[in-house]
Amino acid sequence: MLALIAGQGALPAELLARLSPTPLICALSGSEPDQVVPELIFRLETLGSFLLELKARGVTTVCMAGGVRRPVVDPAAIDAQTLPLVPVIQAALATGDDGALRAVIGIFEDAGLDVRAAQDIAPELLLDEGIPTARVPDDRARQDAARAAAIIGAMAQVDVGQSCAVRNGQALAIEGVFGTEWMLASLQARPDGPGGLLFKAPKAGQDRRVDLPAIGLDTVDQVMRAGLDGIVLEAGSVIILNREEVIAACDRLGLYLWLRKA
């Protein structure tokens, strides 16, 4: 039996539309999904009890999908089943996103659960190399994409972000703790005028079972508002939600979408 630990955004609903039978839908308190209804809500302080409940319900496989906020742990709320996990949880919360998620995956695997990626359940969420839009990136954009890939590679060394905006070889913005939407919003008042691209790719060496970067219709609108010319994604490594609608929106707004080979 599959348990879907659903976070915020459109990804959990996209997965549910493709799954039969319907999995057990769960959520972390404070990061409840906005498009699906969870049956079980758990706190980090009671993670041990939650794992026991999954096993009691016959769950063997877990998929984590959607955005999750880092919780603030209340030491007084930690139950007896979670107490042995406290050192691992504390260490996880002190690291970057990839380090924290690796630790969480380890906890689930140590409990005898198989952790599967969203793209393994629905491989059509990923696109191979190509340019599905009418507009194509020019030579300047191709140089900027190479520069952006190098920036993401450098960011991966310190476990920071999965996206950046680049124009004429210069980093306009990089993704931090507030995410891609906040980063793109910060460009709406940019002093250099329009142009440039959004680049998204997973961190080198990250565990791709969780936190794979994603875009959707909202991203396309945010890119347009930021004055950028297009979106470049690492091919086969970034989830595209509502794929046909995203491509149509890019064409309508005159943006390019490039699935670039790593």
CATH of residue 246: 3.40.140.80
* 73-90 mean pLDDT: 88
Residue 131 shares a structural domain with residue 177 = yes
Residue 133 shares a structural domain with residue 246 = yes
Residue 109 shares a structural domain with residue 141 = no
Residue 251 shares a structural domain with residue 130 = yes
Q: Within 10 A of 216 (CB to CB), how many other CB atoms are there?
A: 20
Q: What is the DSSP letter of 41?
A: E
Residue 69 shares a structural domain with residue 147 = no
Residue 212 shares a structural domain with residue 86 = no
Residue 253 shares a structural domain with residue 238 = yes
pLDDT band at 160 (very low <50, low <70, confident <90, very high): confident
Chain segment 175-209, per-residue pLDDT in tens: 988 889 999 999 998 888 899 999 999 988 777 88
What pLDDT score was predicted for residue 95?
A: 66
Question: Alpha helix (H) ranges present in 115-162?
Answer: 118-121, 139-156
Residue 199 shares a structural domain with residue 240 = yes
Residue 74 shares a structural domain with residue 199 = no
Q: What is the DSSP letter of 161?
A: -
CATH of residue 60: 3.40.50.20
3-state helix, strand, coil in the chain (%, to 5): 40, 20, 40
* 231-254 mean pLDDT: 96
**Looking at per-residue confidence, does 54 or 212 come out higher?**
54
Task: Report residue 258: phi and psi, to 5°.
Answer: -120, 120
Two tokens, residue 187: 């460009």
pLDDT band at 246 (very low <50, low <70, confident <90, very high): very high
What pLDDT score was predicted for residue 237?
A: 93
Type of residue at 244:
E
**Looking at per-residue confidence, does 32 or 92 come out higher?**
32
Query: How confident is the prediction for the chain on average, in pLDDT?
Result: 91
Residue 114 shares a structural domain with residue 144 = no
Query: How many structural domains is the chain composed of?
Result: 2
What pLDDT score was predicted for residue 98?
A: 65
- Is-contact 187 197, C-beta < 8 A? no
**Looking at per-residue confidence, does 40 or 100 come out higher?**
40
Q: What is the C-alpha separation between 163 and 233, in angstroms, rounded? A: 9
User: Does the pLDDT value for residue 132 go beyond 90?
Assistant: yes
Domain that holds residue 230: 126-260
If we measure between CA atoms, which residue out of 117, 116, 87 comes closest to residue 103?
87
Residue 104 shares a structural domain with residue 138 = no
Residue 26 shares a structural domain with residue 114 = yes
